[in-house]
Amino acid sequence: MNTPAKNSRWTRLMVGGALLAAMTIGVSAPAFAAPGPSVTSTTATAPLPPLDPAAIRTVLDQRPGAAITGAFVRVGGSAGSFVGASGTGNQETGAGVDPHGRFRIGSISKAFTTTVALQLVGEHRLSLDDTVQQYLPEVLPEGYPPVTVRQLLNHTSGLSTGSDEMWGDGTTAWFAAHRLDAWTPEQVVATLRKAPRNFDPGTAQQYNGMNTFLAGMIVEKVTGHSFAHEVKYRITGPLGLRQTSVPDADDPALPHPTAHGYLTVPDQGGNTGVDVTEQSPWPWVEGGMISSAADLDRFITALYRGRLLPASVQENLFTVPDVPNFHNNDCGKGPSSRACLSTGLQRIEQDGVVAWGKTGSRPGYTSGVFATRDLSRTLVYSVNPTGVVGAETPYVSRLLVTAFGFVS
C-alpha cells in the first residue's frame, strides 16, 4: 500500500520515485484526458548494452554505510551473468551479505497475486470484468460504482488507500515497537469505508495496495483455498521455488536471511540500531511474501516464457492502460504524466530498451526484480536500508541502471 512520503506505509512502489531520474517511464499526454486504448509492449527494443561486471561492482562498493547496511545484485539472462554483494549481513557475528539467502520481498508479492488471478481467468473461473461487488458484496461502501478485477490488478480502481491506523506515524521508532503487530485482510479493507474514492473507476491509475488485498480475497473466494495454498499449488510447487513462501501473519521468522534488517531508531543517547529481521508479514498478498534471488529469477523467467499463464491472458502482463497517472511518483510527475503499470508489472525504459518487473519494500528490506521481455537480461537486487523514507533510492537507482548497462 502506498501513500505520500509523510506516512511511508512501509511498502513503496519504486523506492521513492527516484528511478525516474535514471530511466524514462511511460509517455506524456494531457492529464485526465478521456481514456484511450491500452498501450501494449512489443518485443522489439533497442540493442541491450553489454554487461559490465566491473561497473556493477563499483556501484555496490559505493554503498552509503549509514543508510544501507548491506546489498546484493544478481544479474542473469542470455547476455551474461553477475552476482555480487556489499556490506554486513549480521552485525553481531560480522558475517557478510549472503546473496543466496532469503529476504522480505514486499510489493513483489503483488506479481504473484496477479499471476494467480490471471491463471483463474485463463481457467474461466474468474473474469477480468467481474466486479468486487459480485464476490465481496459487503466490503465497498454502499453506492460505490462497480469496480472490476481488471481495475484492481492494474490499479485503476480509484479506491481510497484506507486509513493510516495500521501503518503508524511513518517513523522507525513506531515500526520497531510494532513490528510484531498483525491485522487481518478483513480489518485492512474495512478502512475503505473511512475515505471517499479518489476518482471514478477506470479513469486514472493510482498505485494502491488496497487493490491487491481485495484481489487476494477474491482469489480465496473463487478457489475456496487460502492464498498461500494457491501460490504453492500453482507457482512455487511446479517451479520448485523452495525458498519462496506466504508466511502466516503470526510467523515473524525469516529463515536463512541474505542479511539482517536494521533500523536506526533515535533515543536519548543517540541512534540505536534495532534488528527488525523478524516482523509480522501481515501485508499478505500485498507485501508479506519471502523469497530469494534465485527463486525470483526463476519465477520471472517462467512468467515471461508463458509457463505460468495461457496465451489468452499473457499479454495483460505487458499492457499498460492509457489513462492519466494519479499521484504515482514512479510514473512521472506533473499534469502530463501517464500510467506506467500493467496488470501486475511496471514498465521502465531508457534509450529504447524496455524492461518489466516489480519492486518491493518492507522495513529493513528494499528489493526488485526486472527483466527484458526476451530475457536477455534479468535482475534481482536487495538492499537493507536503516530508515523508512527512501534514503536508499539513489543507490538503488544506480544499481538498476548500471546492471542494465546505462552508465553516465
Distance CA 266, CA 259 (A): 22
Average pLDDT rounded to a whole number, residues 374-379: 97
Average pLDDT over residues 294-308: 98
The grid coordinates of residue 161 equal 488507500
Residues 6+ away with beta carbon under 8 Å from 65: 87
Q: Which of 274, 398, 307, 343 is nearest to 110 (CA)?
A: 343
Closest to 205 in 3D by CA, of 164, 140, 152: 152
DSSP letter at 232 equals: I
Stretch 303-328: mean pLDDT: 95
Indicate whether 129 pLDDT > 80. yes
How many C-beta atoms surround the C-beta of residue 244 within 10 A?
24
Does the pLDDT at position 407 exceed 70? no
Mean pLDDT calculated for residue range 3-8: 36
Residue 346 or 194, more confident: 346
Name residues whose C-beta falls within 8 Å of residue 278's C-beta, 6 or more positions apart in sequence: 179, 180, 252, 253, 254
**57-61, 238-242, 275-279, 325-329: which has the minimum mean pLDDT?**
325-329
What is the Cα–Cα distance from 87 to 25, expressed in whole angstroms?
31
| Mean pLDDT of all residues in 162-186 | 90
CB 97 within 8 A of CB 70: yes
Nearest to 192 by CA among 133, 116, 115: 133
Whether 149 has a pLDDT exceeding 60, the answer reads yes
Q: What is the CA radius of gyration of the chain?
A: 20
State yes or no: pLDDT of 20 exceeds 50: no
Residue 86: the pLDDT is 97
Q: What is the pLDDT of residue 224?
A: 98
- Go through the chain and tell me how many residues it has: 408
Cell of 68: 544501507
Nearest to 119 by CA among 343, 291, 361: 343
C-alpha cell of 77?
539472462
The answer to whether the beta carbons of residues 299 and 338 sit under 8 Å apart is: no
Summarised one tens digit per residue, pLDDT across range 131-146 is: 999 999 999 988 889 9
DSSP letter assigned to residue 99: T
Query: Predicted confidence band at 41 (pLDDT cuts at 50, 70, 90)?
Result: low
Q: 21 or 384: which carries more pLDDT confidence?
A: 384
Percent of the chain with pLDDT over 90: 76
Q: Which of 30-34, 273-277, 321-325, 347-351 has the lowest mean pLDDT?
A: 30-34
Query: CB within 8 A of 383, min separation 6: which ones?
Result: 63, 68, 70, 71, 365, 366, 367, 392, 395, 396, 399
Average pLDDT over residues 331-357: 90
Q: List, in order of start, the domains of the chain with CATH numbers.
A: 15-403 (3.40.710.10)
Mean pLDDT in residue range 246-250? 96
More confident residue, 46 or 385: 385
Q: Return mean pLDDT, the chain.
A: 88
- What's residue 47's pLDDT? 85
Segment 246-252 shows an average pLDDT of: 96
What's residue 350's pLDDT? 84
Q: Three-class SS of residue 397?
A: helix
The three three-digit cell numbers of residue 229, written as one number? 495454498
Lowest mean pLDDT among 249-258, 259-268, 338-347: 259-268
d(CA 32, CA 35): 8
Q: Identify which has the larger pLDDT, 33 or 313.
A: 313
